[in-house]
Amino acid sequence: MVNNYGARLAEALHIAQKDRQELADGIGVSVQAIGQVIAGKTKALTAENSALAAKFLGVDIFWLATGVGSPKIVAQASGQWPFSISVDSFLAIPEEEQNRIGEYIEFCVKKWQTTHPAKRS
């Protein structure tokens, strides 16, 4: 677990392949403010800016705020869990295994997409 907010914010930037300036522009704060948070000179962003940062970077807001769980967003954007097991059951397995499962699902979807091209209208 990444145990401070600044380190989690830096990890989220890495995951999203964004830089500090892009995040600052995306949430409406100065790049200096982002730098101070990452350096630990300021504890965290405001709750609103933290939520905006999580959304902008595509990471789980609870993970960014607390360090608990995974930075990956588990549920679909629609909020519907598409699998027969519960979200809690999935989250109970180790993060490394969750990542492996996620990669396998991505592989399967991409494979399906290559054999079922989208129809153009």
Q: What is the pLDDT of residues 41-84, one digit of tens each?
A: 988 889 899 999 999 998 989 899 998 888 987 554 455 667 77
Domain CATH code at residue 13: 1.10.260.40
- Count the Cβ atoms, other than its own, within 10 Å of residue 45: 24
In this prediction, residue 119 carries a pLDDT of: 65
User: How far is residue 25 from each of residues 19, 22, 31, 61, measured CA to CA in Å?
Assistant: 10, 5, 8, 19
In this prediction, residue 74 carries a pLDDT of: 59
- Burial class from Cβ neighbours inside 10 Å (0-12, 13-18, 19+) for residue 2 reads middle
* Same domain (yes/no): 61, 79: no
| % of the chain surpassing 90 pLDDT | 38
* Same domain (yes/no): 21, 62: yes
* Same domain (yes/no): 85, 50: no
* Same domain (yes/no): 62, 93: no
Going by pLDDT thresholds of 50, 70 and 90, the confidence category of residue 114 is: confident
Over 90: is that where the pLDDT of 88 sits?
no
CA distance 54 to 23: 10
Global pTM value:
0.61
* Same domain (yes/no): 80, 38: no
Number of domains the chain is built from = 2
- What is the average pLDDT value for the chain, to the nearest integer? 85
In this prediction, residue 44 carries a pLDDT of: 81
Going by pLDDT thresholds of 50, 70 and 90, the confidence category of residue 91 is: confident
Looking at residue 26, its amino acid is: G
Looking at residue 34, its amino acid is: I
Whether 70 contacts 64, CB under 8 Å: no
* Same domain (yes/no): 14, 58: yes
* Same domain (yes/no): 9, 31: yes
Q: End of a domain among 23, 42, 66?
A: 66
What is the extent of the structural domain holding 19? 5-66
CA distance 118 to 99: 27
